[in-house]
Amino acid sequence: MSKYYCLIAGLPNNSLDDAKIPFTVSEFREELNGILTDADKKLVDLFFLKFDNKNLIMQVKHPDFDPDERGRITFHEFNALFQALKEEEKPPVNKRIPSYFEAFCKLYLEAEAKNEQHSASWEDILAAHYYRYAAACKNTFVSGWFEMNLNISNLFTALTCRKYQLDKANYIVGNNPVANSLRTSNARDFGLGDTEDYLMEVQRIAEESDLLLREKKTDQLKWRWLEDNAFFKTFDIESVYAYLLKLEMIERWVTLDKAAGEKTFRQLADAMKKGSNNTLEEFKRNNKK
């Protein structure tokens, strides 16, 4: 296992409440490119697929969009895959494109051909494919991170569905044990019991009426998870990965105006209350983090 003594020792300390960042996540990635092993670069690439996911959603819905430059898959690569599947041809081999992109595009095209509507948004469906793909990696720290994010997202969804009397089975995504419990159980704790300690805290966070504060508390929970799980990996890729994830959290909060953020989260709550998939998809499209 590779050690990154000089890299870790040279990184500035950070806190979720920092008012500025030492560098952006994109700048940090460029710095890592000349340091990490090929295997560890692939782990970092898993994180940045979130921006390619955003571009993929926009590609299938709004082809004239301006892509998020943090993604690495080009418009032409997206288009070659999507058009081949649309014409029921075999897509060109491209190792830069993860396998779940093809699965998602097929699902989207099938729904489009049948004029079907899914209760869960396409963003959430793609996220579920992404989390499952990333959670299958052999690094237990990285796979655990993606598994936790899927679980937290699904639990918030289940609690919101319960509050507004929506059928949670239509909104929960993924097929891991937590998702299946959330989808099928009517118990107060959704049958989760002692599955994961952080899930109990998520239920308490969900009671927070200030939606921006709820988001901050969720990030604080994730921040603690990163510190706890990278604690004994001080100079390993796990600590580098944790630093990248923390940096992304700080970057988001530094650029998030409080008033605008509160409005954004209120809009999401209203959309879920109405139970409108179209409203949810439009909201998510216009309010990407």
Question: How would you class 96 by CB atoms within 10 Å of its CB: exposed for 0-12, middle for 13-18, buried for 19 or more?
Answer: exposed
Cβ pair 141, 233 in contact under 8 A: yes
What are the residue ranges spanned by the domains of the chain? 37-117, 261-289
Nearest to 140 by CA among 239, 49, 229, 9: 229
CA atoms within 13 A on the CB side of 25: 23
* Local confidence pLDDT in tens for the 289 residues of the chain: 789 999 999 999 999 999 888 999 999 999 999 899 999 999 999 999 999 999 999 988 887 778 899 999 998 999 999 999 999 999 999 999 999 999 999 999 999 999 888 788 899 999 999 999 999 999 999 999 999 999 999 999 999 999 999 999 999 999 999 999 999 999 999 999 878 889 999 999 999 988 889 999 999 999 999 999 999 999 999 999 999 999 999 999 988 765 555 565 556 556 555 544 444 444 444 444 4
For the chain, the distance separating the N- and C-terminal CA atoms, rounded to the nearest angstrom, is: 34
pTM of the model: 0.86
- Please spell the DSSP secondary structure of 157-202, one letter per residue: HHHHHHHTT--GGGT----SHHHHHHHH--STTTT-TTS-HHHHHH
Spatial neighbors of 197 by CB under 8 A, at least 6 apart, are none
